[in-house]
Structure 1
Amino acid sequence: MAYKVLVVDDSSFFRRRVSDILNNEANLEVIDVAVNGKDAVEKAITLKPDVITMDIEMPVLNGIEAVKQIMAQSPTPILMFSSLTHQGAKATLDALDAGALDFLPKKFNEIAANNDDAGSLLRQRVLQLARRRISMRRSTTSGIVTRKSQASQTPTASKIRPVQPSTPSKHRVKTDKHYKLLAIGTSTGGPIALQTILTKLPKSYPLPIILVQHMPAAFTAAFANRLNNLCQIDIKEAADGDLLKPGCAYLAPGGKQMIITGTESAKKIKILEDDSERLTYKPSVDISFGSAAKVYQGDVLGVILTGMGHDGREGARMLKSKGATIWAQDEESCVVYGMPQAVTIAGVSELSLPLNDFSEAIIKETANG
């Protein structure tokens, strides 16, 4: 039986084109369309689709408010379409906070043309979220963001994320291990996963942190700023020449590659322009993790979080070969169990943890850093 999709957009052309693309997949069926957010909320409740694609800018009720209401009344995986602007990035991050699981840039030229790559990507992302719907139906609890000025998260947002209750992790703290870097790679579902972990790290956290999140170039600066406002540690979009400092996290800029270079006493970040077609992901977890292996050797705790595909597997393998420690997010708490599964199946990951357990485990593991 095909997964049911509700397409939401105020543009009749975009509704029709997205519907045509999705209906070309045998496992997907667009059961209806909605012309604004209010219409989307009503149809989400009555039709109970497996996935919703949602525009942000709409009349009557915008996409962000629609996501909040859907999460409160009929939690459903939602993929947002976003413009590639600073304002579009901010709105998309707001939608993810509200409960949306994923997003794609809204590129009219690619959607209008018979672009096989764009159509294939859209179908793939919707299928992944549709499969996640099964796990969401089983989910009953979730904990998300602890803000500097706000201890609780909007209740509507918590219902979407199938995160296990936070319980003490049964893992061995390596008291003889002296870490010098925490490296985290993630993709689909990553923005909220990173928030969940990083907001719980203390201001005095002893290591520098590199973050690789698959995200368009227009989004990473806004995301870094948001994380910095939420967290006690300092977080910035990485810039060429940044020195890696304890208690500071560096987010790889979208559309480029971030590598680690430097000497023992002055390790720094190098940002590379990447116009090659060889690498699918820009930034790439493999590239950043691989460079960390060369510079930091085995003094790294590498973490692979929720995401589609297998980016990070080879970089984590390089780190592991130098003696580094690799952890992965467990299947139940992932939005998409792709990247963590890849390192787990490859035998690279030593431990699988629920999302809510990572912060405490990281703090304990790196206490001797």
Structure 2
Amino acid sequence: MRKMISDFFKDHPTIEVIDTARNGKDAIEKIQQLKPDVVTMDVEMPELNGLETLKCIMDISPVPVVMLSSFTENGAKQTMLAMEYGAVDFVTKPGGTISLDIHKVKDELIHKVELAAKVPIEKLRKHGSSIKYSYIKNMPRGTSAGISEKQTVTESNRSIHPVQTKWSKTSEKIVLIGTSTGGPRALQQVITKLPKAFPAPILIVQHMPPGFTKSLAERLNHISYVQVKEAEQGEKVEAGTAYIAPGGFHLKMKKVGSHYEIVLDDKEPPRAGHRPSVDVLFENISQFEELDKIAVIMTGMGNDGSKGLMTLKRTGNVIAIAESAETCIVFGMPKAAIETQFVDEVVNVDEIAETMLKYLS
């Protein structure tokens, strides 16, 4: 496996594999000695597994890490923890633990290593804040869920587009969230700060392959006040619940009588390589003009969500929130959204929940 992955970069014009490691302990020693720009690492390793190794790396010598994970239930859970502990992204091994057909993900791995090399080290150092939420469900229900300290307001924390005068706090609302690279940690910082009686449903698109979105939902549900679940076909959309689009399905909604139901679509092609797609979600929800929408675009590469945001803004009352460059792992999707000039507020990730509640409570 180490030889095959090293060979992926043999002819790469800007990336050189400077060494390989037999296990986690070997990796930690070599990372401190060689100071690589990026590390690729398996979740499953001898002596010291990927998670323990990752925690040590982030404590001792932080560096962007791209994980390789087995396509199993346990592999998905371990990968979600790796994202929480500071890994930038992950690639799914197509053939299990010893993946002899690893060549199938060559292009994806190279692309994610290229992306990881651009992530500033200081953003990786913030991984420890996520651990603060491990006890949140045991707190009294009246206790505030805003555990982490508010960051200093920067120049980007500003209103950049006038809020519509028609916005009413009493009308029926829905919250839409789109994110990609760096999304699992960003979602944790947002969702865990929402109160149990959150007054609107939340529909979430996180770019992620099938099998991993369920583990993400279960992890977030375990540490949040609101219910978080992987969306299911035909279920009623209810306030106080966050629905995460399953990997491989576009997330949509339809009105049935006086309520709304989840629609999962695997027939419509991927949009710009993504299924689920943020653009598809936003465009679908734009048809429900009776609902006021809060659209949130967070860390991620590319421009998914920007076209859908324009459609939303042109068809109803919408508050658009983008994550700031200061806290994004990758400032691609929020930047594209801001460039549409339809974003109302740009805030750091730890202020997104507070900003949403400002328009709901």
Under a length normalisation based on structure 1, what TM-score does the superposition of the two structures give? Answer: 0.84
**Does residue 1:50 correspond to 2:37, yes or no?**
yes
User: Which residue of structure 1 aligns with residue 280 of structure 2?
Assistant: 287
Q: What does residue range 34-45 of structure 1 map to in structure 2 within 5 Å?
A: 34-45=21-32
Q: Determine which of 240, 244, 252 is the counterpart of 2:237.
A: 244
How far residue 95 of structure 1 moved from its aligned partner, in angstroms, is 1.3
- The reply on whether 1:92 has 2:85 as its aligned counterpart is no
Specify which of 184, 188, 204 is matched with residue 211 of structure 1. 204
1:236 aligns to what SS in structure 2? strand
> Are residues 1:364 and 2:358 paired?
yes
Q: What pairs with 1:59-208 in structure 2 (closer than 5 Å)?
A: 59-108=46-95, 112=101, 115=104, 118-133=105-120, 136=123, 143-144=129-130, 146-147=132-133, 149=135, 166-167=151-152, 171=159, 176=168, 178=171, 180-208=173-201
- Provide Cα deviations, 1:53-89, integer angstroms capped at 9, x if missing partner: 0101111110000000001100111110011111110
Relative to structure 1, the CA distance from residue 278 to residue 225 in structure 2 (aligned partners, 3 Å threshold; closer, same or farther) is closer
Stretch of structure 1 that moved more, 17-26 or 207-216 = 17-26
Match of 1:327 in 2: 321
Amino acid at match of 1:257: H
- Aligned-CA RMSD value: 2.7
The aligned length equals 340
Following the alignment from structure 2 to structure 1, what is the Cα–Cα distance between the partners of residues 230 and 126? 35
| Residues 146/260 of structure 1: CA separation in 2 closer, same or farther (3 Å cut) | farther
Q: How does 1:338-357 map to 2 (within 5 A)?
A: 338-357=332-351
Question: Does the aligned pair in 2 maintain the 1:297–1:319 contact within 8 Å?
Answer: no
Q: Does the CA contact (< 8 Å) of 1:297 and 1:324 recur in 2?
A: no
Report the 3-state secondary structure (helix = DSSP H, G, I; strand = E; otherwise coil) of the residue aligned with 1:76. coil
CA distance in 2, matches of 1:294, 1:227: 29
Q: Distance in 1 between matches of 2:176 and 2:252?
A: 12
SS in structure 2 at match of 1:303: strand
What is the alpha-carbon distance in structure 1 between the residues aligned to residue 338 and residue 212 of structure 2? Answer: 29
Scaled by the length of structure 2, the TM-score of the pair is 0.86
- Asked if 1:256 corresponds to 2:243, the answer is no
Q: Show structure 1 runs of 5+ residues with no match.
A: 1-13, 152-162
Which of 29, 35, 56 is the aligned partner of 2:16? 29
**Closer, same or farther in 2 for the Cα pair 1:141/1:120, shift >3 Å?**
closer
**Matched AA of 1:325:** I
Name the CA shift for 1:262/1:127 in 2 (closer, same or farther; >3 Å). Answer: same
Contact 1:142 1:165 in 2 (8 A): no
* AA in 2 matched with 1:343: A
Query: 1:320 & 1:74 partners in 2: Cα distance?
Result: 44
8 Å CA contact 1:187, 1:214 repeated in 2: yes
Cα distance, 1:108–1:211 mapped onto 2, change above 3 Å: same
The one-letter amino acid paired with 1:37 is G
Contact 1:183 1:289 in 2 (8 A): yes
Determine the C-alpha separation between the residues in 1 that align with 2:324 and 2:84: 21
Aligned partners of 1:146 and 1:196 also within 8 Å = no
* Distance (Å, rounded) in 1 between the aligned partners of 2:22 and 2:260: 52
Aligned to 2:144: none
Q: Retained in 2: the 8 A contact 1:285–1:312?
A: yes
Q: Does 1:315 align with 2:308?
A: yes
User: Distance between the aligned counterparts of 1:291 and 1:49, measured in 2?
Assistant: 44
Residue 130 of structure 2 aligns to which amino acid in structure 1? I
Over 3 Å counting, the alpha-carbon distance change for 1:27 and 1:264 in structure 2 is farther
Unaligned 5+ segments in structure 2 are 138-147
Given that residues 251 and 276 in structure 2 are in contact (C-alpha distance below 8 angstroms), is that contact kept between their aligned partners in structure 1?
yes
Percent identical pairs in the alignment equals 38
Q: Secondary structure at the match of 1:343?
A: helix
Distance, in Å, in 1 between the alignment partners of 2:281 and 2:295 is 11
